[in-house]
Amino acid sequence: MFETIARRTLLAFGVAAGLSAAMPAQAQPAYPTRPVKVVVPFGAGGVADITIRIVSEKLSEKLGQRFIVENMPGAGGITAARAALSGEPDGYTLTMLTNGTAISVPLFANLPFNPVTDFVPISTLGTFDFLFVVNANSSFKTLEDLLQQAKAKPGSLNVATVAVGSSQHLSSVLFKAESGADMVHVPFRSTPDALVSLLRDDSHLLIDSQAAVKSGLEGKQVRAIASSGPNRSAAMPDVPTVRESGIEGFDVTSWNALFAPKGTPQPIIDTLNKALQDILKADDVKARLLDLGIEARSETPAELSQRLRSDIEKWRAVIEKAGIPKQ
């Protein structure tokens, strides 16, 4: 009888221990259980802002909690990064990083955050090219036409972009370096200012995103003669790439992506990545983003990490070769 009682006691302890060990995993609440803040390093109404709002709306529907976009523009994404890193790494504060973040690493002398070590990647949201645009009345019908004059008359042509150190500016630096074209860079505070310069024939080429020059394209005031990616953009399939125009290896592909502060639990990263994979495959989301010139794209965290690291080194080389001073 004593052995039977002892056996039952040990069995009871074993079952209790098994239940106790299982309880923490079972007690973990599903994510998310409350609203999630997404910090964006750009002002409202821009391409990045519209992109994240489209995606956040779908995340809210899919995961059952609101994903609230908070705009915090500032040089190098510093303000947004600080805000995202100030809270607990619990999945309830996320942030958007972009190819502009990769540029900020070598461009800023004292960037107070490291996107590689301070954040963990979740997924890319979309990629987009820059367009090489001329005045609709320009005699340059192709990029080859423009390059011929740039080489025949060095310094006679102006290329307009927004601010020094921007993705657009560095695209022009890379283009000049790889084509051998001697063109004068003219920076502007905004795309509308650069467009005015192009329409006045003060500038001869403008490099910017499709969304930024959309009104000029639709109003037939400007023409796109090339795109910056390795392949033709699905948004403008009739526009040849810079590569097709004779500049082999030229590739400037901009991107927007979602990251979380370092230390965010892996199950949360996995939940968000899986949700984004599904969302970015949806036809309505792809159509809405393509209207902005953005191709919806999800990636694994590992793929996004490699994209970020690769772009940091790519733009570091461009910045150093061009002698652009650190900001």
What CA–CA distances, in Å, run from 86 to 17, 43, 129, 284? Answer: 39, 20, 33, 35
Instruction: Let me know whether 204 and 262 are in one domain.
Output: no
Instruction: Let me know whether 124 and 272 are in one domain.
Output: yes
| pLDDT digit string, tens, across residues 159-208 | 999 988 899 999 999 999 999 999 999 999 999 999 999 999 999 999 99
CATH code of 97's domain:
3.40.190.150
Q: Is residue 41 part of a domain?
A: yes
Q: With bands split at pLDDT 50, 70 and 90, how would you rate the model's confidence at 28?
A: low
Distance CA 51, CA 112 (A): 26
| pLDDT digit string, tens, across residues 305-327 | 999 999 999 999 999 998 998 88
Distance CA 86, CA 249 (A): 40
Nearest CA to 146 among 284, 21, 240? Answer: 240
Q: Is residue 29 part of a domain?
A: no
| pLDDT digit string, tens, across residues 235-293 | 999 999 999 999 998 999 999 999 999 999 999 999 999 999 999 999 999 999 999 99
Among residues of the chain, what percentage have pLDDT more than 90? Answer: 82
The more confident residue out of 326 and 115 is 115
Instruction: Let me know whether 310 and 163 are in one domain.
Output: no
The three-class DSSP label of residue 305 is: helix
Q: With bands split at pLDDT 50, 70 and 90, how would you rate the model's confidence at 2?
A: very low
Averaged pLDDT, 223-233: 96
pLDDT at 21 over 60: no
What pLDDT does 20 receive?
42
Q: Is residue 213 part of a domain?
A: yes
Q: Which of 8-12, 57-61, 157-161, 254-258 is predicted least confidently?
A: 8-12
Nearest CA to 99 among 34, 149, 171? Answer: 171
Domain residues for 296?
A: 36-128+253-322
How many domains does one find in the chain?
2
What pLDDT does 17 receive?
43
